[in-house]
Amino acid sequence: MSSTPLSRAISRELTWVALSLGVFLFVAWLTGLWVFSLLAYLLFYLIRQIWSLYQFDAWFRDVPNATAPQSGFWQELCAIISHKQRALEKRADLQNNKSEQFHAASMALPIAIISLTKHHKIEWFNDAAQTLLSIQRSDTGRKLETLVRQPEFIRYLKQKEIDKPLFLEGFMGQSRTYRCEIFDYHHGHRLLMIEDVHELYNLAKIRKDFVANASHELRTPLTVVNGYLEMMIDMSDQIPQLWEKPLGQMHHQSLRMQAIIEDLLTLSRIESDTLMNTTKVIQVSEMLKNIEIDIRYLYDEKYEIDFSIEEGLSLKGVEEPLKSVFTNLISNAFRYTPKGGRVSIRWYSDSTGAHFEVEDTGIGVPNEFLSRLTERFYRVDTARSRESGGTGLGLAIVKHVLDKHESELKIQSQVGKGSIFRCDFHID
């Protein structure tokens, strides 16, 4: 190994000591004053070290015109220190540059961002926040709620645990919709983000209204078409045989369309909350027993059906939508399970809450499609689903109803083996 700076310094110092000691010893030998020479040498060495220390101190404190000590190991020591210091300075520069860049980026964001302390005192904010909330740089350190006084906002700010964003219609005297969200970050600090979502909000509203209105308007003409078709099928003896099959298909398709429209209407009713405003305690075990009777009547010969229902386990919620959740999940299981398969339905409770579970030995869903299953009209296999007569809205309804019940749909599935659909409910 080549010598390290320190070992170099030591060898340098030792060389110096050996040389100077040699000179003194020579002088002592010449004069014969051994003890005196040795003392003089020690004194000389001491003075030299103290002088170097003094020089080092001046250099280290950046006194102008001070130079680093040149003698012995002091020189090496100074070289090491200045090298290290340069590296540190470079790193600090880099960090500084990075944090400045970060600062500039947060300033340029179009979303209003404000950093707050635990007690909602303003720490820093970006330009968007400055314009939106009309706060000034001098407001740093003030409590945010003294400047943004909307009662709804203050209530949101004072919440201990914030889990969902707040939508404010009309904020700071502007009639637009804003989305506020607070995140905890970095040891008790809080980050408040306010975003203008007026366009998005309006768009969602328009979409909802459109779906509701359109389905409603479509229902009436379809009922008429359907009625006449039924009449024509009933009078099949008066109709040429050529038309029998087309009429049957027309009837089948119009029924399908009707089912889709009914589901769309249910969905938009759930979304607009008209269905969901009266919650009460529901005897789920009773409800499931009634469903069981229907299911056994329909499928008992073709499938192995297993119902296990915990007696008396009830739930707080809304009856009609919840029933549609259960029937949707159960009929899905039968729809995607080949004849002779097994479907088991469980309603049980444990320490985490109440659970409704449907397990089948059906065709299963490939993993990559699981997250998209609850989208409207989403089909894994388009051709097969149409055949089996689904509307494509069942799971969307399930998802929305469960959302309103603060529950979630969990899906486990293996292609070819079967799937498990489970809803977890909280019980108080």
Partner 1 sequence: MQKKEFSSHISNQLNRNLEELFNHILEMGGMVENQLDMALSALGNSDIKIAKEVVRFDKSINQAEMEIDRLCIRVLARQQPTASDLRLILATIRIAIDLERMGDEICKLAKLVIKFHKNEPCVCANYAGYAELVDITTRSREMLKTTLNAFARVSAEDAMSILDQEEVVDNVYAKACKDVTEQFKKNPENVECLLEVMTALRASERLSDHALNIMESIIYLVQGKDVRNMDQERLTKFLEKL
Q: How far is CA 203 from CA 110, 198, 200, 206, 265, in A?
A: 20, 9, 5, 5, 19
Contact segment (CB under 8 A) with partner 1 among 151-159, 160-168, 215-223, 407-415 equals: 151-159
For residue 60 the two structure tokens come to 């280290």
Q: Which stretch binds partner 1 (CB under 8 A): 148-156, 293-301, 344-352, 397-405?
A: 148-156
Smallest distance from partner 1 to CB 149, Å? 3
Which of 151, 208, 157, 201 has the alpha carbon at shortest distance from 179? 201
Site string for partner 1, 155-194 (x = CB under 8 A): ---------------x--x-x-------------------
Running DSSP on this structure, what letter comes out for residue 121?
Answer: B
**Concatenated DSSP letters of 47-75:** HHHHHHHHHHHHHHTT-TT-----SHHHH
Query: Which of 141, 240, 340, 416 touches partner 1 by CB under 8 A?
Result: 141
Residue 198 as a binder of partner 1 (CB under 8 A): the answer is no
Question: CB of residue 151 vs partner 1: minimum separation in angstroms?
Answer: 5
Residue type, 292: E
424 lines the binding site for partner 1 (CB under 8 A): no
Shortest reach from residue 135's CB to partner 1, in Å:
9
Q: Which of 2, 65, 138, 274 binds partner 1 (CB under 8 A)?
A: 138
Measured CA to CA in angstroms, residue 428 lies from 162, 205, 313, 361 at distances of 21, 34, 12, 33
Min. distance of Cβ 117 from partner 1 in angstroms?
A: 12
User: Can you say how many angstroms the Cα of residue 214 is from the centroid of all Cα atoms in its chain?
Assistant: 34
Q: How many residues bind partner 1 (CB under 8 A)?
A: 17
| Binding segment toward partner 1, per CB under 8 A, in 65-73, 98-106, 142-150, 398-406 | 142-150
Side chain identity at 287, as an amino acid letter? Answer: M
- Least distance in Å: CB of 196 to partner 1? 18
143 is a site residue for partner 1 (CB under 8 A): yes
Instruction: Decide if 377 contacts 393 (C-beta within 8 A).
Output: yes
Nearer to partner 1 by Cβ, of 121 and 376: the residue is: 121
CA-CA distance, 122 to 137, in Å (whole number)? 10
Q: In 3D, which of 266, 353, 265 has the Cα closest to residue 318?
A: 266
Q: Which of residues 360-379 bind partner 1 (CB under 8 A)?
A: none
Q: How far apart are alpha carbons 334 and 149 in whole angstroms? A: 55
Q: How far apart are CA 267 and CA 275, in angstroms?
A: 10
**Contacting range for partner 1; rule: CB under 8 A; set: 54-62, 132-140, 283-291, 322-330:** 132-140
**Comparison of 70 and 272: residue with beta carbon closer to partner 1:** 272
How far apart CA 152 and CA 93 sit, in angstroms, is 44
By CB under 8 A, residue 117 contacts partner 1? no
The rounded distance, in Å, linking the Cα atoms of 75 and 5 is: 10
- Amino acid symbol at 219: R
Under the criterion CB under 8 A, does residue 145 sit at the interface with partner 1?
yes
User: Beta strand 174-185 with 122-125: parallel, antiparallel or unpaired?
Assistant: unpaired
Looking at beta carbons only, is 175 or 238 nearer to partner 1?
A: 175
Helix (H) or strand (E) holding 350: strand 342-350
- A 10 A CB-CB count for 287 gives 19
Report the residue number, 95 or 134, with the smaller CB distance to partner 1. 134
Determine the interface stretch with partner 1 among 6-14, 123-131, 136-144, 375-383 (rule: CB under 8 A).
136-144
Give the residue carrying structure tokens 């108080």: 428
Q: Does 137 bind partner 1 (CB under 8 A)?
A: no
Among 20, 49, 75, 150, which residue sits at the site for partner 1 (rule: CB under 8 A)? 150
Verify binding: residue 273, partner 1, rule CB under 8 A: no
Q: Which is nearer to partner 1, 136 or 236 (CB)?
A: 136
Q: Which residues bind partner 1 (CB under 8 A)?
A: 134, 138-139, 141-143, 145-147, 149-152, 154, 170, 173, 175
